[in-house]
Amino acid sequence: MTASKNVHGKRGMDLIYDPLTNKGTAFTDAERDALGLRGLLPPAVKTPEQQLLRVYDNFRRKTDPLEKYIYLVSLQERNEVLFYRLVLEHLEETMPIIYTPTVGLACQRFAYIYRRPRGLYISAHDKGRVREILRHWPYEDVRVIVITDGERILGLGDLGANGMGIPIGKLSLYTACAGVPPERCLPVMLDVGTNNQTLRDDPLYLGLDQPRLRGKAFDELVDEFVTGVQEVFPKACIQFEDFGNTNAFRLLHHYRDRVCTFNDDIQGTAGVTLAGLLSATRVTGKKLSDQRFLFLGAGEAGIGIGDLIVTALEADGVPTDVARRQCWFLDSKGLVVRSRTDLADHKKPYAHDHAPAKTLLEAVESLKPDALIGVSGMPQTFDEPVVRAMARLHKTPVIFALSNPTSQAECTAEQAYTWTDGRALFASGSPFDPVTMHGRTHVPGQGNNCYIFPGVGLGVMASDATRVTDEMFFVAARTLASLVTDADLAMGRLYPDLKRIREVSAAIAAAVARVAFDRGLTKMARPRDLAAHVREQMFSATYPTWA
């Protein structure tokens, strides 16, 4: 955003009221005269650094996380550059607010904190005019769309139209973490109703007051949206987010080879988890191909991780059937084994011959997994007997409690370290504070998808890729793991410092773009310097000069 003229063609209050063009008190005297702003702003011209001091001070004065969220959203609605400058300068403080864990609470309270529309709402009543709605969006070159139907928001369940907070938050991370320009991002709420009766009984609820649309009518609406995007935004990548398990797998399998799309709950979670497992091998000394993985939860996240582990093992020469037998799943009815007759299709490839096991502790004692991965959305299910069993079985047990938000985590960082006498390699979906034991401070790694999906999206955008493949997530995971330093590992962190997120995303984007060019998934001429080309696409949180 370094234009030398007002490419938006706006003047006066129109310029101020557009968050993409507004500079607030940072408009220079020359700009105020040239753009009809004289008298519309306080006379003092402030530097971006002075503006940052003011908004950061206001942010810090808020003591309640939801109030901090409201403040940041309000800032984003009036000045995008200043918002992203604040987020990037103070990423460790702001990310837990604009995304997990606070975004979960923001979704629960969405109707009560709603201020200004952001994104598009497409409802079950809009069948036949979805293309018209897409054309209402004021920006033409959309490259990343995040769409949800609100059925499975984090670990909080069906939040209906309140789930719009998730696409908005995800796209904020695309810009903050990977520099995807905000005008190329489009959040979409597909409101097909809700089965959450509490929401429907709430007079302030902003969504449709009807049960969820199912079956053919649902599929037709989704298809109208997907085909409409191909027409209105032909270079856009569609990210499906927080759909229920059944629809998530169906939609991914139906569209992945037809349009540029992926599901972050399935593939993004898989990428960041695989990266953490690869990092852990540098500490444990065990090759990935020599390990067994036990998942608590066999939904989108769990099966997605299992599939990507299989892809990684296949790359190391492990046959597919052998690779799958290294991944075991426990769902609400017990261990996923071949003798069960109640398994959904997405679980069947991981149904192995084994005696049934009803409890997690029984499965741990029987299978002796090297890594225990929680993707259940069920809090405190990694209890003391389970974690102590992992510690007894392995010198360095790998324990990933990945469910979001923090309230849904399978165990806390402190519990994992305490019950393993500080020997665990721990990662979580939401952030936990460092834990000091026996004179050593353990810094838990946050296996946050923000390490993966923004870089993947940037790589797809930078290469004009027409598809998003599993190989792209594999190279993203491998790239992420390669950026973990020995210093990170020494403090127990399996991911790079969050302060390096733009460097990480740029590296992942270059790796993803390389796959697109190598596999013929783009018609773009291959740039001579791919890394430099990626960096040129990235939004910078600096004001343009217009006069």
Residue positions annotated with a catalytic role? 99, 170
Considering Cα of 495, then 501, then 502, then 505, what sign does the dihedral take?
A: positive
Question: Residue 341 to residues 296, 329, 334, 337: CA-CA distances in angstroms?
Answer: 19, 15, 12, 9
**Residue corresponding to tokens 């302030």:** 204
Bridge partners of residue 352, in order along the sequence: 337
Q: CA 405, CA 471: separation in Å to the nearest integer?
A: 28
**Residue corresponding to tokens 């190279």:** 475
Q: CA 76, CA 73: separation in Å to the nearest integer?
A: 5
Rg (CA), the chain: 23
Q: CA 384, CA 491: separation in Å to the nearest integer?
A: 23
Q: CA 514, CA 531: separation in Å to the nearest integer?
A: 10
Q: CA 502, CA 123: separation in Å to the nearest integer?
A: 35
Q: Apex CA 395: angle with CA 438 and CA 398, to 5°?
A: 90
Q: CA 57, CA 418: separation in Å to the nearest integer?
A: 36
Of 493, 453, 421, 498, nearest in space to 276 by CA: 493
Strand segments, DSSP code E, in 37-163 are 120-123, 144-148
Q: CA 31, CA 547: separation in Å to the nearest integer?
A: 5
Q: CA 455, CA 458: separation in Å to the nearest integer?
A: 5
Residue 184 token pair: 């190329």
Q: What are phi and psi of 494, to 5 degrees?
A: -95, 5
- The DSSP bridge pattern shows strands 334-335 and 327-331 to be antiparallel
- The DSSP bridge pattern shows strands 425-428 and 445-446 to be parallel
